[in-house]
Amino acid sequence: MKASIRVLVSVITTLFGLLLVTFFIGRVLPADPVLAVVGDHASAEVYARTRQEMGLDKPLWEQFFTYVSHVARGDLGVSPRTGRPILEDIAQVFPATLELATAGTLIGVIIGVPAGVWAAIRKDKWPDHLVRFLGLFGYSVPVFWLGLMGLLLFYAKLEWLPGPGRLDFGYEDMIEPVTGIMTIDTLISGDMEMFKNALMHLLLPASILGYYSLAYISRMTRSLMLGQLRQEYILTARVKGVSEGKIIWRHAMGNILVPLLTVIVLSYASLLEGSVLTETVFVWRGLGLYITDSLFALDMTAVLGGTLVVGCAFIFINMLTDLAYRVLDPRAR
């Protein structure tokens, strides 16, 4: 019971801090939210009236508590750019980001975990150097540059993969959105050609994000596995004649599973919040591109709403991780 109360207090405190930060960022930035509504050529009277209607003439503390009360009711405001409630806009674009980040994380886990284990058991040999080099390269190279090079090579030169977007232009008006995740919606529609088209469009941006993810996951897997391979129980198992595969994949992997889960979840959360550049390069109509377009249009209400949603997703994912900790590791209970 006490643990549940502590978690609840921690979540409430974190959310309050997130609201505080996003609110004051919106007030500190030089962009004028009133001009985003009335335009540059509005008269002084219209400007003053709109400013009053938006509550910007009130003291800062009163504006903040008004903002908190609206967010608590699920009201993130109306976007001057789209003319719709921001929550509706985000609900429409967030599944695209979820699809891209999930596919990228799956690629990172499927390749990164075995690569990290391989590097650990071949420490200081060429497989270890190769995995470490690829990980360092993934950390160092800007993700937007990788995206542009991927489009140049696989789309423009080799023509192996389709270009930007989530579907070819001819398919865009043919799909009925159900979940907002294009690969699932095309599969539901039963049109396998459209599903294949959506999958091919997903492959390149997901691979770019997946490479960024596997660079982190492989490095951390290697570090965790090396720590376990130095333990005495590993030496004891080898003396007893236990096969190397069983030692690695059953004993050592079993002991790094919980911290490795944290690594994977943190990677997933970083892709959810950090796919802005990838979405921009590939014109992927997700939350990142929505925030970018809103920022260029000086629509700070939408920018703050999107930032708040990303922060809440991060908090929710961390809560799930803590819960998984307790399920997988009895010591955490």
**Per-residue pLDDT in tens (0 to 9) along the chain, 333 residues:** 566 677 677 777 877 887 888 787 777 766 667 776 777 777 778 878 877 877 777 887 888 888 888 888 888 888 878 888 899 999 899 999 999 999 999 999 999 999 999 999 998 899 899 999 988 888 888 888 888 999 999 999 988 988 888 888 877 777 778 888 999 988 888 888 999 999 999 999 999 999 989 999 999 999 999 988 888 888 888 888 888 888 888 888 888 888 898 889 888 888 887 678 888 889 898 888 888 888 887 787 888 888 888 888 888 887 777 777 777 666 655
CA pair distance 50, 329, nearest whole angstrom: 55
Give the pair of three-digit tokens for residue 240: 């007893």
| Residue 332 confidence (pLDDT) | 57
- What DSSP assignment string belongs to 25-53? HHHHSS--HHHHHH-TT--HHHHHHHHHH
CA distances from 51 to 31, 37, 94, 293, 294 (A): 14, 10, 30, 23, 20
CA pair distance 22, 178, nearest whole angstrom: 31
| Residue 38 confidence (pLDDT) | 72
pTM of the predicted protein model: 0.85
| Residue 211 confidence (pLDDT) | 92
Residue-range domains of the chain with CATH = 2-72 (no CATH), 89-332 (1.10.3720.10)
How many other C-beta atoms can be found within 10 angstroms of the C-beta atom of residue 204?
A: 23
- CA-based nearest residue to 281, from 181, 163, 199: 163
- CA-based nearest residue to 289, from 100, 130, 28: 100
CA pair distance 295, 22, nearest whole angstrom: 14
Q: Is 78 helix (H, G, I), strand (E, B) or coil?
A: strand
Are 284 and 278 contacting, i.e. CB atoms less than 8 angstroms apart? yes
Q: Is 315 exposed, middle or buried (0-12, 13-18, 19+ CB in 10 A)?
A: middle
Query: To which residue do tokens 């596919």 refer?
Result: 103
CA pair distance 55, 37, nearest whole angstrom: 14
| Residue 110 confidence (pLDDT) | 94
| Residue 4 confidence (pLDDT) | 66
Interior angle at CA 14, CA 11 and CA 19, nearest 5:
125
| Residue 99 confidence (pLDDT) | 93
- What DSSP assignment string belongs to 54-73? TTTTS-HHHHHHHHHHHHHT
- CA-based nearest residue to 225, from 298, 86, 322, 131: 131
Give the pair of three-digit tokens for residue 81: 């750019």
